[in-house]
Every structure is written in structure tokens, then in C-alpha cells.
Structure 1
């Protein structure tokens, strides 16, 4: 590939508005880190509409103005994608989520791109009831070994493997004929340089920080944390020796916070709640904390980026021994993992989840997953009573984050993966016309809806609008969404060639000779659009 420009492409903005969730934080962190590292010659974004394009442009004007001004970052609408794939050599495409469009992008690449470049996308939450359909999209013969799902944790990788096993068994798919993409593990990360411990703290109570969604059905039930602290108080801990700080984003209903407030008050434990903190307030909360706690019990959690943030701030972590948390916390070194217990089988939820809202079945699953409260109390007690241990674990945690979960390190893993995927052998020929069974073939499915279809015997001639059009006396209406699909000059040629009646096959051949950038399907679409606009008409 010597001499070939290295171009990175995506269909996603990575930067998006809305609630601040782990996924959105991770995606914008990835984008900013990629552009800072700048391992490619160009970066092409193909976005669905202006509502996605304009906010991304504004973000890049703040974070990567040089790349924008030098036109090394190009922001395009999705309609331009087929043409770009046909005439541009891409090094790779990377999506912000493997769930939505990765297999269909691979199909378009197979058909249009001269080179079979890698297509990758990461996992985020995996536990939604509709996700088996999403993973079924990946199990088709057009997936290649140059395609990869990036799993952010070992637990997440095992879950994806579980989806694939279930789907292959249920639909009778052999791994040899329906291999799906490769599974690679690369974690999420933070910019460790942007976070730093506050230094020496003033004397006072041990401040225990929980940061994230305060939700019993989408993140973690915090009642076990208050119960564990109550145990310590019952065993002699001065309740004013600790302070519990809950920060983040709460559901609109208040009963969860009310429950936690009442339980803490009954135990005599000082507790404060900080809702929707901005970035400056978030830093202040982490820097004033002594211990970070996250006791996830919900399968929506796959990685746990707040634990990495806590490590970057030099905080020891007490976390449930659950999902990706065990990848982040080195037990006994950077924090303490608390045992959890959950069901091996879930026949009731399996039966009802596809019929219910996601918060219903996630709540059921979470309430059947127990964090060991005595062990949680013991872990908290060790750190509350031992400031030297807190300092040692916090320092080790920061070192671990810099080695494993720092964006420059992780971007290096991505660039190495994209380069390595090119080493996988691919035979392009059999992939070119391979349809995806989950992508509707609209012509074949709905071709009987109109009274007739465009075929070779159809005779065509110029319409009244067409006569005026090729003489520049009329201008047909071209909607914004068609500006990349309809070439006005090709339509003008259609009108010119149909001055005398002509069959559609001859007309297609004539246009193809003068507009080689259009394939037969595209020329047929131009003919049908011209009929719709009275530029052409049938003679029968």
C-alpha cells in the first residue's frame, strides 16, 4: 500500500448532544484523541443530515481547527457515500457503534470499493432485547476477516460470543459459511493528562463519591451501598467520619433519591446529592473525594468509564466484581472488588423482555443480581480507616490508567488493529454482488406496486418540459435529498437523445457513452425521474 493516501472514514459524528452517558463521553473522547494523534492523511465523515453535521463542525472548529481549514477533515452528507467509495481508496472505516449499520456498510464496500478495506465498530451496552436482530446482521457470508467488532472488555466479548452462538444455533448457521466479523478487545479510555489529583486534602470525613446515572433500573441500585455503610456504623464507625456524595444524572421521578436520602438519614450518615454537574464541578467532586464507589448490578454496563476517570484522579476504587469492572480494577492494588451473585438462567425475563420496555426487564435482571453487602462493608471499612492504603491504591490506579486506559495508548491500539486487518487475505470477487438478506430488495419486493416497470421494450420521447429544459427555458424541481443522486447534465442528455422516439435500452446505452460515471441502475433512475418531471414521456 506504499504511496496510497491513508484515509479514515466514518458514518457517525461521534460528537452528539443529549444526556451525558458513558457512551457519549467515550465517543467524543475517541474522536478528539484520534484527531490529536493524527495518524491519517484525511478524515471523512458521512453524516445523515445537517442536524448532525453542523454541531460536529462547531465542535471541530474548537478542537481541530487546523484539520478543518486544511481540508483534511471533510464533512459530507450520506448521499455522497456511494460515489466516494467507488473513487476513493480508504484505509478503514470506523463507526461509533457496531449495532446499527456496520454490516450494511461492509456490503456497500464489497460492491463499490476497489479495495476491501477494514470496517470496525465498538460495543457499548449490549443487553437490549432487540440486539439479537442487530447481531444477526453481522452473520452473513459477506463479512470478512478485515471486519471487526471492537469489544471494550473481556466480559463484553464473551457476551457478543454468546449472541453469535445463540443465533447460529437458532438459525442453523455454520461458522464456516457465516463467520461474522472478528472480535478484538480494545478498552475505552480517558485523557489522563486532563485529570489530576488535588494534592493534600484538608482533614475531615472520608468522602465517598458515586458518579454516574443514579438509576436503579439502568445503572446500579445504591441501596446496598447505604446498607453497607449502616453496617459499619452499627459496628462502631462514627457516622460523621464519612460523607456520601451522589453525583450525576437522576431519573425524573424522585422516589429513588427519596429512598436513599431516608435510608442515609436513618443511619445517621451525611449524604449530599449533586445533579447534572458540569465539567468544572465534576473535577471538583473527584478531587475532593477520598474513595470512588461503583456497584454496578445491571447488564447495561459493559465497561465502566467512570472507574477509569476515578483512577486518573488518583482515587482508590471500590467496585462490584461485575462485567468490565474487573478489567479496570486490579483487586488489592488499585482498589477492591466486591463479590456479586446472579442467576445462571432467566427464563421469565427471556420470555417477556421482547414484549416490554427496556427499563422493565433491566430492573428485573438488576434486582436478581446481588452485591455482597458484608463484603462491601468490609472493603469500605478498610479504606475509610486507612488513609495510607487509600493513597497507595490511588497512586497505583493512576499509574494503571496511564499504562492501559490513556487515550494515546488506546488510539495506538486502534491504528495497529486497522493496519493488521489489511494482512487478512480476502477474495473480493465472490463478495461483489452478494446481497445482505436483512437489507430489503425494494424493487423485487415492491416492483408489482406500479402498473408497469421500466424494461427494454419501453419507447420514450422527450416531454414538453424536457423540450424546454435542454434549451435552458425550464428548470425541473430537484429536491435537496436528490442533489447527489440526480445529475442534471445527464438528464439534459436524456432529453436530447429522446428528441425522436427511442427504446429504453438504446437510450441507456447512449447516456452511458457520454456519462460513464453513471452505472445502468443509476441511468434507469434518471429515466424514471425524468418521466416523473415530464422531461420524458412514453410513446405508448
Structure 2
């Protein structure tokens, strides 16, 4: 990727530094919570580490974009923990010049809309916005994708889709939105959309390597005998919003019966509620009594590593629309385990059937309008996902057949595991995936820089509004609210008997402390009150020239002093009111 160089003076020499990325650093996007270990947070954490790994501390720095200083401080601490010598700098929203310097504003979610609305105030071609999809099933996310048509999003922006399945969903949403807008506006309207590249989630494959010694040590820690075949599931333990476990339990029970061998299932994750654990435990007792089942809290990373070390076969039979990609199967391949996956969503693209493992066919009800209508009305997101999951089946017989093959052949497990390890490194390691990001950002930059050479795009840039409707200023949105607006021509006069002591007394009240940083300085107020007390009044324009301050600064001082009752408008114009009965 092209690095954009800025010269920053350091002592007596010039040090070259570049800010090639502004990262939207809301802690929710990269901080891993021990209580709620969510896939999108794990993915965000891994991506940010990749960004840091690929940033040269001697020549580059990162911009942390956020309106909140404490959020930036969390981001800065994270950066320094991963790479102590790397510098990060705060970029608040009003500093669009810093975003232009960085060229790319990256957000670890699909919310391009808010940032595009903000960018309207700057030249639209001053920088690109890049986001990424995770789940695409909730109303909130669907509406964000839908907004790609309506928001001021440009062809030099991008929403990264983590799989072909996700891009198909995104295109389906956009096609429907186009149909609605064409009907609503009465004409064919199809603006240029942002780029929709397919780039998978990445992992640090070195973090998942294991050897035979670690394999034996992990099995000993979990009290697993040499003759047990261990099937491993890693992920959130939720039948309703992740993967219903019945097919896995039933299939492994069948394998235990057919082979007469010791079959062990490790479920490494966390339960959303005690009731969920009780439901899953009851299901296991009923459905797979001949399978040894081990629960491990996946929020304990040491215990989680032991599970990765002890497994023989990774299994994940996702049947939920909440899922889109699946990081844990990739991690399993990096470990060197064969994978047994449902032929579902982004899982389809993770591996080749019969090479790194096996895929298990799925079937889904074709008429799901009932569930959609209930979700629109009053059903929770969890109930919506679980209802669709109930109508999605996995071929248990095929799963049992494939699992039996892997139980019966260590050699097959070894060969598939080795192929999976090679695929994980060649396709999903951050060294490969991050290069795709850099290539995308270079492409976006090329499109952006050449936009004004294109007649249609140039016209869009030159006629773009300065603000979107939902981000208009209060004075523009509410033009009939006040009696008058304070302009440069508004004449101000003092209120008899009011002095700087009154300002000091009022400014110290707790009721004004929330806005303390917006209150004018005592010295300036004193001089202004003194000036007005010796005159019949003056316009705000005259006052700003007399005190050699900016016009907007003088307007703000006057507005606060009117609020405090220390000055007043010389000639109020009060609306007599309208007859509401006319």
C-alpha cells in the first residue's frame, strides 16, 4: 500500500512519519470481555493486533478516531501493550483534516452511514470510509446495509463482506431497497454504491500451532485417555443464537454405537444463562448417553488452549442465521485438526469437502415469512433466530458417517489436519489477509483521487449538500423557536446593577458545571460588562471588532450573559402569536 509521508520535526532533524489509517476506536470493537466473549469482539481484537503488527513504529503512527478522550486512552494503552514503540494520536470528529491525512477511516462494523453523514461537512473526496460485516440478521444491521443507498456513501468507500454468502445477503438487501426507492420516488434511481469486496476474517496462525508433546500434555490435564477420540466444539454455547447441539449429540451417539470406541465431546465456551446449560445438559443425558461430555469455560484462555491442544476432530454444525463466517473452524485448521462443518453460510467457503475435513448438508424451510413478521412485531432477536434454526435441519446420518471415518482412521485425521494447517496459513493468516486490506485501501485511494476526472462524479462532488437533514444545526432546524437570533447586527445593552461579581457567583453554581468549559473567561466578561455599562449599547459585530475577538466567540459570550441575565437585547421583537383556530 502507498504510505503517505508527513514530515514531523524532531529536535534538529526531520523524521518521516505517516498516518495511513484512522481507526474508530470504540473499546466495544476491540476489547475482549471475559463475561461475554463475542465473536465480533474477538475478530475486532485480532484485526487491531494485525494493524499494529503491520505498522512500522519508526515511520508510521495510528490515528485513534473517537469523540471520547477516555476511549482513545484505552486504544492508546492497547496499542502500546502490543507494540510499545508505536505511537497513536487522538483524532476527534471535528478534525476532518486529520482524517484527510490518514486517507482511510476504518470502523470495525458495517456502520458507514454515520461517518458518511459526518463527512459531508468536509469535501466528500477528502478520505475513504471502510467497514466490515459480522452478523447480518438483526434489524439494526439490516438497516445499516439498507442505508448504503440513502446515505452519502461514495464509490471510494467500502463495506467488506467476510464471505460470498454475506455479499449475497448484502446485495439482496440493496436490490430490495432500490425497488422501494424507485417506487417511492416515482423514477429509476440507482446511485453508485460503495465497493463490496470479499475479504475473510484473519487469525494469527502461529498462536494456534501445537506439537505432539502439547497434545499429550493437554489430554493429561483434561484426564483424557490415549484411546479416546476427542471431538471439540469451541464457541458460545447457545442453541438459540449460535448452533443447536442436537444434531452433534445425536450423530456422535451413533458413532459411539457403531464403533464401540470411546467418544469424547469437549464443549469449550460459555453459556448465556444457567437455564441454557440445564437445557443442554438434559439434552446430552437423553440423546448421547454413551458419549463422554466435558464442559470447559472458554473464557479462561489457559483452559481454552488446553482444549485446542487435546482435540482430535473439530466440529461445528452451525444452523443459525446469526452466524456469517466462523473463526473457530479456521483456528482449528491452524491447530492441525480436521474439521466437520455444516454446509452453511460462510462455513461453505472455509474448506473443501473431503480435503481439510467434511461438510454436512443442511436444509432450511423456504417460507419463513411468519418468523420475520413476528420479529417485526414483538419477538426478540433471540427468538427470531431460534425459530429459523428450528426449521433448519442438518443431515445427522451424513454427519455420523463422516465422523465415523475420522474415528476409524488416525491417518485420515493426520492428512486432513495437515492440509487444514496449510490452508489456514495460506488463506487466513493475517500476513495474507491484511495484504488484501492494503490492496483494497490503495484501490479506494485511486478511485477517490481520480473522482474529479470523471464527469458524473465531479458533478456529484461539486453539488453535494453541506449537511444531511438529520445532522442540521439547531439554528437551522428550529428557525421559528426563538424571538430573535443573535447576529452581528443584534444590539446588546447592559442590565443596570449587574457586575462581574454576579457572573462569578452564577458561574460557580453546580447547575452550570456540566457546561463549565463552554462558559466565557472571567476577564473577558468583566471588560465587556464594563464597556456596556458606560454606553447605550452596541451591536455584536461592533463588540467583536472592539475586543478583537472572532464574531462567533463574541456571539457565544453574549448568549451566555443573556442566559445569566447580565445583558439583554436592546430591541426585543416578540411574536404576537398565531390564531390556532384559523
Normalised by the length of structure 2, the TM-score is 0.80
Paired residue for 1:293? 315
Corresponding residue to 1:378 among 396, 401, 410? 401
SS of the equivalent of 2:153 reads coil
Paired residue for 2:13? none
Alignment deviations for residues 103-134 of structure 1 (CA, whole Å, 9 cap, x no partner): 23223223225852111010111100233332
Corresponding residue to 2:238 among 215, 219, 232? 215
Paired residue for 1:34? 51
Paired residue for 2:279? 256
Corresponding residue to 2:83 among 38, 60, 64? 64
Q: 1:170 and 1:316 mapped to 2: Cα distance?
A: 46
Q: Do the aligned residues in 1 keep the contact of 2:249 with 2:288 (CA within 8 Å)?
A: no
Q: Residues 463 and 26 (structure 1 numbering): CA distance in 2 closer, same or farther, change over 3 Å? A: farther
Alignment deviations for residues 402-449 of structure 1 (CA, whole Å, 9 cap, x no partner): 111111221211122111101113337436534334546644444444
CA RMSD of aligned residues (A): 3.5
Report 1:360-439 matches (<5 A).
360-424=383-447, 425-426=450-451, 427=458, 429-430=461-462, 432-439=464-471
Q: Does 1:140 align with 2:159?
A: no
Paired residue for 1:344? 366
Alignment deviations for residues 79-105 of structure 1 (CA, whole Å, 9 cap, x no partner): x32135379623211001113xx2232
Q: Does 1:539 align with 2:570?
A: yes
Report 1:121-160 matches (<5 A).
121-140=131-150, 142-160=152-170
Q: Do the aligned residues in 2 keep the contact of 1:140 with 1:436 (CA within 8 Å)?
A: no
Q: Do the aligned residues in 1 keep the contact of 2:19 with 2:62 (CA within 8 Å)?
A: no
Alignment deviations for residues 452-498 of structure 1 (CA, whole Å, 9 cap, x no partner): 443565322467999749x9999778857785x78869976994897
Q: 1:461 and 1:376 mapped to 2: Cα distance?
A: 85
- TM-fit CA distance, 1:277: 3.8
Paired residue for 2:130? 120
- TM-fit CA distance, 1:514: 4.7
Q: 2:465 and 2:70 mapped to 1: Cα distance?
A: 33
Q: 1:369 and 1:81 mapped to 2: Cα distance?
A: 44
Corresponding residue to 1:302 among 324, 328, 332? 324
Q: 1:308 and 1:315 mapped to 2: Cα distance?
A: 10
Q: 1:284 and 1:88 mapped to 2: Cα distance?
A: 46
Q: Do the aligned residues in 1 keep the contact of 2:99 with 2:105 (CA within 8 Å)?
A: no
Q: Residues 127 and 421 (structure 1 numbering): CA distance in 2 closer, same or farther, change over 3 Å? A: same
Corresponding residue to 1:281 among 262, 279, 303? 303
Report 1:153-232 matches (<5 A).
153-172=163-182, 177-199=190-212, 201=215, 203-232=226-255
Q: Residues 406 and 497 (structure 1 numbering): CA distance in 2 closer, same or farther, change over 3 Å? A: farther
Q: Residues 135 and 75 (structure 1 numbering): CA distance in 2 closer, same or farther, change over 3 Å? A: same
SS of the equivalent of 2:354 reads coil
Q: Residues 47 and 297 (structure 1 numbering): CA distance in 2 closer, same or farther, change over 3 Å? A: same
- TM-fit CA distance, 1:75: 3.5
Paired residue for 1:82? 94
Q: Residues 279 and 177 (structure 1 numbering): CA distance in 2 closer, same or farther, change over 3 Å? A: same
Paired residue for 2:347? 325
Q: 1:114 and 1:496 mapped to 2: Cα distance?
A: 43
Unaligned runs of 5+ in 2: 7-17, 217-225, 452-457, 572-582
Alignment deviations for residues 315-351 of structure 1 (CA, whole Å, 9 cap, x no partner): 1110001111112122111111111111233211121
Q: 2:375 and 2:527 mapped to 1: Cα distance?
A: 54
Q: Does 1:97 align with 2:109?
A: yes
SS of the equivalent of 2:201 reads coil
Q: 2:209 and 2:98 mapped to 1: Cα distance?
A: 47
Paired residue for 1:6? 19
Q: 1:330 and 1:489 mapped to 2: Cα distance?
A: 72
Q: Do the aligned residues in 2 keep the contact of 1:96 with 1:122 (CA within 8 Å)?
A: yes
Q: 1:205 and 1:96 mapped to 2: Cα distance?
A: 41
Q: 1:314 and 1:482 mapped to 2: Cα distance?
A: 59
SS of the equivalent of 2:93 reads helix
Q: Residues 526 and 149 (structure 1 numbering): CA distance in 2 closer, same or farther, change over 3 Å? A: farther
Q: Does 1:460 align with 2:492?
A: yes
Normalised by the length of structure 1, the TM-score is 0.86
Q: Which has the larger radius of gyration?
A: 2
Paired residue for 1:245? 266
SS of the equivalent of 1:361 reads helix
Q: 1:466 and 1:73 mapped to 2: Cα distance?
A: 48
Q: 1:189 and 1:196 mapped to 2: Cα distance?
A: 15
Paired residue for 1:358? 381
**Larger RCO, structures 1/2 (Cα 8 Å, 6+ apart):** 1
Unaligned runs of 5+ in 1: none
Q: 1:133 and 1:465 mapped to 2: Cα distance?
A: 57
SS of the equivalent of 2:280 reads helix
Corresponding residue to 1:15 among 13, 30, 39? 30
